[in-house]
Structure 1
Amino acid sequence: MSYLGIDLGTSGLRALLCDAAGVPVGSAERHYEARHPHPGWSEQDPSDWIAALEGALGELRDHPAWAGLRGIGVAGHMHGAVLLGPDDAVLRPCILWNDTRAFAEAAQLDAIPAFRALSGNIVFPGFTAPKLEWVRAHEPEIFSQVAKVLLPATYLNLYLTGDHVADMSDSAGSAWLDTGARDWSETLLEAGHMARAQMPRLVEGCAAAGRLRPALAQAWGLGPQVTVAGGAGDNAAAACGTGALDEGQGFVSLGTSGVLLAARSGYHPLPGSALHTFCHAVPGRWYQMGVMLSCTDSLNWLARIAGMRPAELTAPLGEALQPPGRVRFLPYLSGERTPHNDAMIRGAFTGLGAETGRDDMTRAVLEGVAFGLRDSAEALRGAKAELGHLLAIGGGSRSRYWLRLIATVLNMPLHLPASGEFGAALGAARLGQLAASGAAPEEVITPPATAEVIEPVAELVDAYEAAYRRFGPAYRAIREIQ
Structure 2
Amino acid sequence: MYLGLDLGTSGLKGVLIDEQGRVLGQSSASLVVTTPFSTWSEQDPTSWWQACRDVIADLKKTFDLSLLKGIGLSGQMHGATLLDKKGQVLRPCILWNDGRSQDQCLAMMDEFPELIDKSGNLAMPGFTAPKLRWVKENEPDVFAKTAFVLLPKDYLAYKLTGSISSDYSDASGTLWLNPSARCWDEELLSASSLSKSNMPKLFEGCDVVGRLTEKSSKELGVPQVPLVAGAGDNAAGAIGMGVVNSGQGIISLGTSGVYFAVSDSHKANPRNTVHAFCHALPNRWHQMGVTLSAANCLGWYADLVDESVPKLLERLEQANILETSVVFLPYLNGERTPHNDANASGQFFGLSSNTNQADMVLAILEGVAFSLLDCQEVLIDAGSDVENLSLIGGGARSPLWRQIIANVLGKTLFYREGGEIGPAVGAARLALIGVEYNLGGNIEGLIEQHCYMPDVIVTHNPNLDLAEYYQNKFCTYKSLYQLTKSLNKES
Would the aligned equivalents of 2:394 and 2:420 in 1 still touch at CA under 8 Å? no
CA-CA distance at 1:325 after TM superposition = 2.7
User: 1:194, 1:442 → 2: CA distance?
Assistant: 39
- Residues 258 and 64 of structure 1, relative CA distance in 2, 3 Å threshold: closer
CA-CA distance at 1:64 after TM superposition = 4.5
- Residues 96 and 347 of structure 1, relative CA distance in 2, 3 Å threshold: same
Moved more, 461-470 or 203-212: 461-470
Code of the aligned partner of 1:103:
Q
CA-CA distance at 1:321 after TM superposition = 8.0
Code of the aligned partner of 1:381:
I
In the alignment, which residue of structure 1 is the partner of 2:54? 55
Would the aligned equivalents of 1:204 and 1:281 in 2 still touch at CA under 8 Å? yes
User: 2:369, 2:186 → 1: CA distance?
Assistant: 40
User: 1:109, 1:339 → 2: CA distance?
Assistant: 20
Code of the aligned partner of 1:406:
I
Correspondence list, 1:55-204, <5 A: 55-111=54-110, 112-204=112-204
In the alignment, which residue of structure 1 is the partner of 2:268? 269
Would the aligned equivalents of 1:389 and 1:412 in 2 still touch at CA under 8 Å? no
In the alignment, which residue of structure 2 is the partner of 1:231? 230
User: 2:274, 2:487 → 1: CA distance?
Assistant: 26
* SS of 1:144 mapped into structure 2: helix
Correspondence list, 1:184-333, <5 A: 184-220=184-220, 222-224=222-224, 226-318=225-317, 324-333=323-332
- Percent identity reads 42
In the alignment, which residue of structure 1 is the partner of 2:432? 433
Would the aligned equivalents of 2:53 and 2:220 in 1 still touch at CA under 8 Å? no
In the alignment, which residue of structure 2 is the partner of 1:456? 462
Would the aligned equivalents of 1:258 and 1:295 in 2 still touch at CA under 8 Å? yes
User: 1:36, 1:353 → 2: CA distance?
Assistant: 32
2:406 matched to 1:401?
Answer: no
CA-CA distance at 1:342 after TM superposition = 0.5
CA-CA distance at 1:102 after TM superposition = 1.2
* SS of 1:89 mapped into structure 2: coil
In the alignment, which residue of structure 1 is the partner of 2:451? 445
CA-CA distance at 1:183 after TM superposition = 0.4
Code of the aligned partner of 1:249:
Q
Code of the aligned partner of 1:305:
L
User: 1:223, 1:167 → 2: CA distance?
Assistant: 23
Moved more, 6-15 or 124-133: 6-15
* SS of 2:449 mapped into structure 1: helix
Give the structure-2-normalised TM-score.
0.93
User: 2:198, 2:271 → 1: CA distance?
Assistant: 29
* SS of 1:125 mapped into structure 2: coil
Gaps of 5+ in 1: none
Correspondence list, 1:19-58, <5 A: 19-58=18-57
User: 1:288, 1:213 → 2: CA distance?
Assistant: 36
CA-CA distance at 1:153 after TM superposition = 1.0
2:485 matched to 1:479?
Answer: yes
Code of the aligned partner of 2:169:
S
Correspondence list, 1:359-374, <5 A: 359-374=358-373
Moved more, 455-464 or 298-307: 298-307
* SS of 1:6 mapped into structure 2: strand
Code of the aligned partner of 1:472:
K
Would the aligned equivalents of 1:319 and 1:400 in 2 still touch at CA under 8 Å? no
In the alignment, which residue of structure 2 is the partner of 1:344? 343
CA-CA distance at 1:302 after TM superposition = 2.4
CA-CA distance at 1:180 after TM superposition = 0.9
User: 1:105, 1:420 → 2: CA distance?
Assistant: 37
CA-CA distance at 1:422 after TM superposition = 4.7
- Residues 366 and 185 of structure 1, relative CA distance in 2, 3 Å threshold: same
Q: For each residue in 1:186-241, what CA deviation from the matched residue of structure 2 results, as whole angstroms up to 9, or x when unmatched? A: 110112211100000001111111122233335555555x2110111111111111
Gaps of 5+ in 2: none
User: 1:212, 1:334 → 2: CA distance?
Assistant: 37
- Residues 393 and 118 of structure 1, relative CA distance in 2, 3 Å threshold: same
User: 1:421, 1:477 → 2: CA distance?
Assistant: 36
User: 2:56, 2:300 → 1: CA distance?
Assistant: 33
CA-CA distance at 1:445 after TM superposition = 1.2
Code of the aligned partner of 2:384:
A
